[in-house]
């Protein structure tokens, strides 16, 4: 399998020399093409910091991040922006849709900042809307949509550019359980049918159980790793719960 993302001895420190916080403490792992990886951890475990480093929103202290062989920790300025808009797709917990634009325009924006032609934009938005089942909300504004619809629109915006890697930060965090389930099924579809590579950060075992692999983080270090293999989703969920119990305290609360 081709490796899309390779994280090599990544470290991220906060604070000064006297009171140093190691948000990420020497983490290394790889994500292959077509994988759906969930990163789990309690709040404060460093999972969001990790995602921010991968998405180039935050700078690393040491170590390297390779996205298809390119070391993105070396990128600067407009190259960073170019990398972000061409190679990555983002899905955020609070959707991050522009409230002044309709769903269609929000999705189209990801393409128009790459200077894609309007006719091509229309074709691709139409296609992705069908896949994510949001065709009937395209003309609506974010305030007219439900949380689930908003998150699917945000997902459409994330994958319409055919990114190498889709990064999702607590995508179900602001959704009710029904919407969350629906969204995750769409993720599953994107992953299996469209071969999208997804890296998702969550503290919710149910959400994580949709992934093909789960990496557990505690105090900035990798604590455990689970592969779904041939398990059913229910079996995988039980396994995740076992690890969560093992992790103890914090994450239990999140259940």
Partner 1 sequence: MLFKLSIKNIARSIKDYAIYFFTLILGVAIFYIFNAIESQTVMMNVSSSTYEIIDLMNNMLSGVSVFVAFVLGFLIIYANRFLMKRRNKEFGIYLTLGMSKRKISLILFLETLIVGCISLVVGLVLGTALSQLMSLLVANMFEAKMTEFEFVFSSASCIKTLIYFSVMYILVMIFNTFNVSRCKLIDLLNANKKSEKIKLKNPWLCVIVFIISACLLAYAYWCVTSGITDMQTADKILIPIALGAISTFFVFWSLSGLLLKIFMSMKNVYYKGLNSFTLRQFCSKINTTVFSMTIICLMLFFTICVLSSAISIRNSMTSNLKTMVPADNQLDKTLDLPTDSGYSKGIIDDSKIPISKTLDRLGFDTDKYFKDIIEFDLYASDEYLIRDTLGSSYDEIAKQFPYLDYDMAETFIKMSDYNKLAKLYNLEQIHLSDNEYVIVADFDSWINIRNEGLKHNTSLTIDGITLTPKYDKCINVFVYMTSSHINTGIFVVPDEVLNNMPRESGILIANYNADTEEEKQEIEDMIIATENSPYALNTDIEASTKISLYESSVGLGAMITFIGLYLGIVFLIASAAILALKELSESTDNKERFRMLRKIGTDEKMLNKALFRQIGIFFLFPLVLAIIHSIFGIKFCAYLLETFGKEKLIYSIIMTAGIIIFIYGGYFLITYLCSKNIIKDK
150: CB partners within 8 A, 6+ apart: 95, 97, 142
**40 vs 47: CA distance, rounded Å:** 7
Of 84 and 221, which has the nearer Cβ to partner 1? 84
79: CB partners within 8 A, 6+ apart: none
Minimum Å gap between C-beta 30 and partner 1 is: 24
Of 102 and 209, which has the nearer Cβ to partner 1? 102
Minimum Å gap between C-beta 99 and partner 1 is: 5
Q: Residues in the site for partner 1, rule: CB under 8 A? A: 55, 57, 77-78, 81-86, 88, 90, 92, 96-101, 105, 108-113, 115, 117-119, 121-122, 141-143, 157
**190 vs 184: CA distance, rounded Å:** 10
Minimum Å gap between C-beta 31 and partner 1 is: 20
Minimum Å gap between C-beta 85 and partner 1 is: 3
Minimum Å gap between C-beta 101 and partner 1 is: 5
Of 128 and 214, which has the nearer Cβ to partner 1? 128
**166 vs 180: CA distance, rounded Å:** 17
Minimum Å gap between C-beta 142 and partner 1 is: 7
Of 117 and 192, which has the nearer Cβ to partner 1? 117
Of 9 and 14, which has the nearer Cβ to partner 1? 14
The token duo for 241 is 């719960």
- Could you tell me the CA-to-CA distances from 155 to 56, 82, 130, 133, 168 in Å, in that order? 19, 19, 12, 11, 9
Of 111 and 205, which has the nearer Cβ to partner 1? 111
């Amino acid at each position: 399998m081709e490796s899309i993302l390779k994280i090599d001895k990544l470290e991220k420190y906060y604070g000064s020399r006297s009171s140093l916080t190691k948000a990420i403490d020497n983490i290394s792992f790889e994500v292959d093409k077509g994988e759906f990886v969930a990163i789990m951890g309690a709040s404060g475990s460093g999972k969001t910091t990790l995602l921010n480093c991968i998405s180039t929103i935050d700078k690393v202290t040491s170590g390297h991040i390779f996205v298809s062989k390119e070391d993105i920790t070396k990128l600067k300025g407009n190259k960073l922006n170019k990398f972000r808009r061409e190679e990555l797709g983002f899905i955020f917990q609070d959707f991050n849709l522009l409230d002044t634009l309709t769903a269609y325009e929000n999705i189209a924006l990801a393409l128009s900042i790459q200077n894609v032609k309007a006719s091509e934009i229309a074709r691709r938005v139409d296609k992705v809307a069908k896949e994510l089942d949001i065709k009937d909300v395209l003309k609506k504004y974010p305030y007219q949509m439900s949380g689930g619809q908003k998150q699917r629109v945000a997902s459409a915006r994330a994958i319409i550019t055919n990114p190498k890697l889709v990064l999702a930060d607590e995508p179900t965090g602001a959704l009710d359980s029904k919407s969350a389930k629906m969204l995750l099924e769409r993720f599953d579809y994107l992953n299996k049918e469209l071969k999208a590579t997804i890296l998702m950060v969550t503290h919710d075992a149910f959400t994580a159980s949709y992934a093909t692999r789960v990496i557990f983080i505690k105090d900035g270090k990798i604590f455990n790793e689970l592969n779904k293999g041939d398990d059913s989703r229910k079996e995988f969920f039980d396994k995740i719960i076992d690890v969560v119990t093992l992790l103890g305290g914090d994450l239990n609360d999140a259940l």
